[in-house]
C-alpha cells in the first residue's frame, strides 16, 4: 500500500477528492482545506493499494495537479484497517504483481548517475573477476557478479526505452560505457601489476580452465540465459522482490566477461579477448531486450485488467 500526499489548488480540490473517492483501491481519504502553504492549496491525504496506485497517479496527472500543486507517495509498511482490507479486495489484480510506473522510473533514474561509488564498485567487481578468471575460481566470479552495479543502468535503459525518455537513455548508455571501459582499463593495469609482482602469470590464462572457460566461449545458451535473466531482473524490480535480484546478478556474465576481456588483452591473447567481448555484448543486449519486452507485457496486462474491472465513477 502507498500513502499519497496531494497538494491541490483550491479550484481543483473537489475534482481530486471526487476522483479519489471513486477509486476502489483508495481508502483513509482526508482533506485539509487550505493547509498547504508552498504551493498554496488543499492538502489531501489517502492510502491506495499498489494495484490501483498507477491508475490513480495517472489520473491525478491528467488533472494537472503536479503543475500547480504536488504529488508525493511513500510505502506503508503496516496498515491495520478493515477499510484497507476492503480496498485491497475490491481493487483489480494483485498487489504483489502491481507496477507503479512513476515509482519504477524514479527508482531506475537514480541508477544512471555516473557516481564515484558506481565506478568504484564496477572497477572492484571487474578486478575481482579478473583474478577469478586467472585462478579458475567460480567463487570469485560469483562474488564479482554480486558486487557489480551494472544492472541498475541496464534496468534504467529498459524503462527509458519503454517510456521513450531520450535523456535517460543517454545517461544509461553513458554509465554503462564509461563504467565498463574504466573497469577494463583498471583490470588491465592490475593484471600487469600482479604479473610484475609474480602473483599471476600468462600461463594461468592459457592453461585449461574448465570452470570459467565458458566466459569467453559464448553460444546460443548465452542468449537464453541473458533473456531469462532480463525477465527475472525486471520482474524483481517492478514487483519489489529484491531477493530475486541477487540470483539475477549471479546468472549473467557481464562483469566476468569484461574482466576476461581485460585480462586477455593484458597478455595479448586476442582471440580470448574477442570471445569475451562478444559474451559481454550478448548478455547486455539480451537483458535489455528481455527487460523491455517484460515491461510491454506488464503494461498490456494491467491496461486490459483495468478496462475489464474499472468501477464506474460515483455520482
Domain match, 139 and 91 both: no
Q: What is the DSSP string of 163-221?
A: HT-HHHHHHHHHHHHHHHHHHHHHHHHHHHHHHHTTS--HHHHHS--TTTGGGG---HH
- Residue 226 pLDDT exceeds 70: yes
Contact 158, 150 (CB under 8 A): no
Quickly state the pLDDT bin for 112 (edges 50, 70, 90). Answer: confident
Tens digit of pLDDT for each residue in 162-219?
989 999 999 999 999 999 999 999 999 999 999 999 999 999 999 999 999 999 999 9
Domain match, 82 and 210 both: no
User: Which residues are paired to 47 by β-bridges?
Assistant: 3, 27
Question: Mean per-residue pLDDT for 292-311?
Answer: 77
Q: Give CA–CA dist 194/183, Å, rounded.
A: 16
DSSP state of 93: S
Contact 8, 39 (CB under 8 A): no
Residue with grid cell 509498511, as numbered in its chain: 77
Residue 191: closest CA among 180, 200, 182: 200
Quickly state the pLDDT bin for 313 (edges 50, 70, 90). Answer: very low
Q: How many domains does the chain have?
A: 2
Sheet holding 70-75, edge to edge: 26-37, 40-48, 2-8, 70-75
The dihedral formed by the CA atoms of 150, 153, 158 and 163, expressed in degrees to the nearest 10: 170
Q: What pLDDT, on a 0 to 100 scale, did the predictor assign at position 309? A: 58
Domain match, 131 and 229 both: yes
Domain match, 90 and 122 both: no
Q: What pLDDT, on a 0 to 100 scale, did the predictor assign at position 52? A: 86
In this structure, of 29-33, 110-114, 154-158, 248-252, the range with the lowest mean pLDDT score is: 248-252
Q: What pLDDT, on a 0 to 100 scale, did the predictor assign at position 36? A: 92
Percent of the chain whose pLDDT exceeds 90 = 67
Domain match, 111 and 178 both: yes
- What's the whole-model pTM score? 0.84
How far from 235 is each of 86, 101, 228, 230, 296, CA to CA, in Å? 27, 13, 11, 9, 12
Quickly state the pLDDT bin for 24 (edges 50, 70, 90). Answer: confident
Domain match, 269 and 147 both: yes
* 131: exposed, middle or buried (Cβ count in 10 Å: 0-12, 13-18, 19+): buried
Contact 282, 225 (CB under 8 A): no
Domain match, 248 and 172 both: yes
Range of the domain at 255: 104-301
CATH of the domain at 41: 3.30.70.120
Residue 27: closest CA among 65, 53, 55, 54: 53
Amino acid at each position: 500500500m502507498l500513502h499519497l500526499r496531494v497538494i491541490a489548488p483550491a479550484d481543483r480540490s473537489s475534482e481530486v477528492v471526487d476522483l479519489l473517492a471513486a477509486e476502489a483501491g483508495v481508502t483513509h481519504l482526508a482533506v485539509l482545506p487550505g493547509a498547504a502553504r508552498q504551493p498554496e492549496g488543499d492538502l489531501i491525504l489517502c492510502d491506495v493499494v499498489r494495484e490501483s496506485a498507477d491508475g490513480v497517479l495517472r489520473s491525478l496527472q491528467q488533472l494537472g495537479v503536479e503543475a500547480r500543486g504536488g504529488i508525493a507517495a511513500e510505502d506503508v509498511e503496516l496498515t491495520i484497517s478493515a477499510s484497507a482490507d476492503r480496498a485491497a479486495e475490491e481493487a483489480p489484480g494483485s498487489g504483489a504483481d502491481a507496477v507503479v510506473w512513476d515509482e519504477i522510473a524514479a527508482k531506475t533514474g537514480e541508477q544512471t548517475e555516473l557516481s564515484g561509488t558506481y565506478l568504484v564498485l564496477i572497477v572492484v567487481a571487474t578486478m575481482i573477476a579478473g583474478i577469478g578468471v586467472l585462478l579458475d575460481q567460480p567463487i570469485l566470479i560469483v562474488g564479482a557478479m554480486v558486487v557489480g552495479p551494472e544492472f541498475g543502468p541496464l534496468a534504467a535503459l529498459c524503462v527509458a526505452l519503454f517510456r521513450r525518455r531520450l535523456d535517460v537513455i543517454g545517461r544509461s548508455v553513458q554509465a554503462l560505457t564509461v563504467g565498463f571501459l574504466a573497469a577494463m582499463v583498471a583490470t588491465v593495469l592490475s593484471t600487469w601489476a600482479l604479473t610484475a609482482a609474480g602473483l599471476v602469470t600468462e600461463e594461468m590464462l592459457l592453461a585449461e580452465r574448465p570452470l570459467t572457460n565458458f566466459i569467453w566461449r559464448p553460444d546460443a545458451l548465452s542468449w537464453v540465459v541473458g533473456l531469462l535473466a532480463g525477465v527475472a531482473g525486471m520482474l524483481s524490480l517492478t514487483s519489489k522482490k529484491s531477493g530475486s535480484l541477487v540470483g539475477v546478478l549471479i546468472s549473467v556474465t557481464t562483469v566476468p566477461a569484461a574482466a576476461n576481456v581485460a585480462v586477455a588483452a593484458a597478455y595479448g591473447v586476442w582471440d580470448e579477448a574477442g570471445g569475451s567481448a562478444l559474451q559481454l555484448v550478448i548478455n547486455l543486449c539480451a537483458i535489455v531486450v528481455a527487460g523491455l519486452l517484460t515491461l510491454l507485457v506488464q503494461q498490456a496486462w494491467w491496461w486490459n485488467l483495468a478496462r475489464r474491472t474499472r468501477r464506474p465513477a460515483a455520482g
